[in-house]
Amino acid sequence: MSEDLTTISNEDIIVLYNEVNEYIKFLEDEIANVDIDGDSK
Amino acid sequence: MKDEIHNTIEAEKEVLSALPLKTKKNKTLYLTKVQELKKKYKNFLSDIAIEIVKRSKKIKNIEENSEISIINARLKELEENMILINKNLSSFEKMGLDKITYGLIYYYKENLNKINKNILKAINIFNNCGIELTAAHFDYSHYTYDYMLVFFKVIYDLKSDLLRQSFEKIFWKCPDLIVHLDLNIRYLYLENKNEIDKYFSDKKKEFLLKEKMSEEEVFTEYYGLIKTRNALVDCDQSTIIKSFIDHKYSINDYSSINVKNNFAKLIIDNEYYTQNEEVTDENIVKLEHSLIEYQDYLSFRYVIDDIIKKYKEKDTYKNILNIKLKEISKQEDILRKMNLKIYKLKSSKKDNKKIIESLLNETDPILLDLKNRYAELDVAIINDKVYNLLNNDSTYHDILSVACSNYNYLTRCIKDHEKDITEDDIKTKVYKLKSFINNPYNTIINNININDNRNIILTIVDRYKLLNINITEENLEERNLENYIASVHIAVMYLNIVTSHINIEDVDFVLKALPII
């Protein structure tokens, strides 16, 4: 995934950073919301 | 690549949403998958951040044009010596004693440490002029002498308890101690004036000889260098980027649509502009200089008015300064004779306490009288400058230069105009006035004579309308001026950005990268 980073434009790399960051937050929320022993939240 | 990643993320989200979460096994598998993705994207995010840091560093680390610091060093060197060739300054002002004596009276009752620092500063300045002061020189009153005896003992530790205790002890006997010290310093200057004048005259010759320049040439170099330095700073890539990072400017103002709209508002005939872009751009820069000069003029108009009021009465000032100086000298002779008498009685072995007390009481009204006379002398000094330095050909620039030459007058004038102003704000105003006077782009104040009643607003408006610039008298009204200057400044800043060859997208990237790095 990282191989092409040098070719991406300044504008796109910021957009990419924000999108990946948001996705990580989404994944973290998913982890927090799964209750292994109980009902799924 | 950006789109690819976006699609991958969306696809992964869809896969995740389709995964079953009913059983514990389902949930464990789901969590494992999510954890894997999180790890993968955390690594990726870190790689992106590294790339962003690398790119923004490349832009942010652009160094300031090295010529700027070279010019600044030369300007500093010249500035340190400019007082030597300033014809408006007396040697009292060249020594900075006007500021020191003002400081003594201001900090009176407020800050003993600052008072002592001011006294030490005065001692050092006299020393620089070849006059080495000791406690014996501070014999204006017995109180000044007693205090300065301790002062010289602890001169390297002015915060010492001994000095503080001495101050407190004397203060209860003589609450006017600081006033006496102030008068003593002024007296020492007058006593040594010839020697001090010679010191500054020699220093001036030495400076001009070293520079191999005439006074005129020094001024020409000085103002020329300010212009060159400012032009370099205005178009310096590093300075421009820093201004955006420090939020001095907003990047939105420089989007192509906003720049276009701003120029359209500023220009009367856009077709003419297209054909004469370079000249019009130069005129926009000149307009900004004129507007700033006009704004500064409005800030200090009351100073100009005050000096003009004095100028109208100038014939009454003839010889007043000399008369005041002679009167002071006469009173000081009387005071010194009485002081000598008291010293002798003090040194005698007999018990002269009562006679001494009585003589000390007799000196009090003389000291009070001298305090008033020195206050009158301050007024006479500025009036004498008006009398000798200004004439019908003098300009507003000359007027402000005279006002600026005497700290005592200027601060009084500022305080009369703004009753509740703080000392820090006074300092800022004095600094602003000096910068205004030294502004090399002034064209208004150095072309208006003392008796000229022209309408400055109309002059500016007429001048720039002729140059295809959209400007109205309303724009220059005090309530609108700041906004108009701001819009002209955006245009000037845009021109600077173009000249600097900075890519505005790069600046935008750095600003967006800031929260990441």
Residues B85 and B198: their CA atoms lie apart, in Å, by 14
Residue B343: predicted pLDDT: 87
Task: Report how far Cα B263 is from the mean position of its chain's Cα atoms.
Answer: 33
Q: Which residues of chain B have pLDDT under 70?
A: 107-110
B90: left (phi over 0), alpha (psi -120 to 50) or beta: beta
User: Which of B19, B491, B498, B506 lies closest to B235 in space, CA to CA?
Assistant: B498
Q: For chains A and B, count residue pairs whose Cβ atoms are closer than 8 Å.
A: 89
- Partners of B34 on chain A (C-beta within 8 Å) are 27, 30-31, 34
- What tokens does B486 get? 């701001």
Q: Does A14 touch chain B (CB under 8 A)?
A: yes
Q: Does the pLDDT value for residue A40 go beyond 70?
A: no
Q: What is the DSSP letter of B472?
A: -
pLDDT in tens, B181-238: 999 999 999 999 999 999 999 999 999 999 999 999 999 999 999 999 999 999 999 9
Pick from A8, A26, A34: CB nearest B1? A8
Q: Does A31 touch chain B (CB under 8 A)?
A: yes
Q: Does B13 touch chain A (CB under 8 A)?
A: yes
State the pLDDT confidence band at A2, using cuts at 50, 70 and 90: low
- Partners of A1 on chain B (C-beta within 8 Å) are 5, 40, 44, 47
C-beta atoms of B35 and A31 within 8 A: yes
State pTM to two decimals: 0.87
Residue A34: predicted pLDDT: 84
Residue B141: predicted pLDDT: 92
- Partners of A10 on chain B (C-beta within 8 Å) are 55, 505-506, 509
C-beta atoms of A37 and B24 within 8 A: yes
B399 contacts B450 by C-beta, under 8 angstroms: yes
Residue B2: predicted pLDDT: 76
Look-up of token digits 């030490």 = B120
Pick from B13, B28, B509: CB nearest A14? B509
- What tokens does B291 get? 């507007």
- Partners of A21 on chain B (C-beta within 8 Å) are 45
Q: Does A29 touch chain B (CB under 8 A)?
A: no
B187 contacts B152 by C-beta, under 8 angstroms: no
Q: How many CA atoms lie within 13 A of B159 on its CB side?
A: 0
- Partners of A14 on chain B (C-beta within 8 Å) are 52, 509, 512-513, 516
User: Which of B133, B116, B136 lies closest to B124 in space, CA to CA?
Assistant: B133
For residue B477, give the amino acid letter: E
Q: Does A26 touch chain B (CB under 8 A)?
A: yes
Angstrom distances, CA of residue B113 to CA of B110, B120, B124, B159, B301: 9, 11, 16, 7, 36
For B363-387, b/e burial (b = at least 16 CB within 10 A) is: beebbeebeebbeebbbbbbbbbbb
User: Which of B151, B92, B165, B105 lies closest to B382 in space, CA to CA?
Assistant: B92
C-beta atoms of B41 and A27 within 8 A: yes
User: Which of B470, B495, B476 lies closest to B285 in space, CA to CA?
Assistant: B495
Q: Does B15 touch chain A (CB under 8 A)?
A: no
Residue B274: predicted pLDDT: 82
Question: Which ipTM was obtained for this model?
Answer: 0.92
- Summarize the confidence of residues A11-15 as an average pLDDT: 93
C-beta atoms of A14 and B513 within 8 A: yes
User: Which of B61, B56, B60 lies closest to B517 in space, CA to CA?
Assistant: B56
Residue A41: predicted pLDDT: 45
- What tokens does B142 get? 């017995």
C-beta atoms of B512 and A14 within 8 A: yes
- Partners of A20 on chain B (C-beta within 8 Å) are 5, 9, 41, 44-45, 48
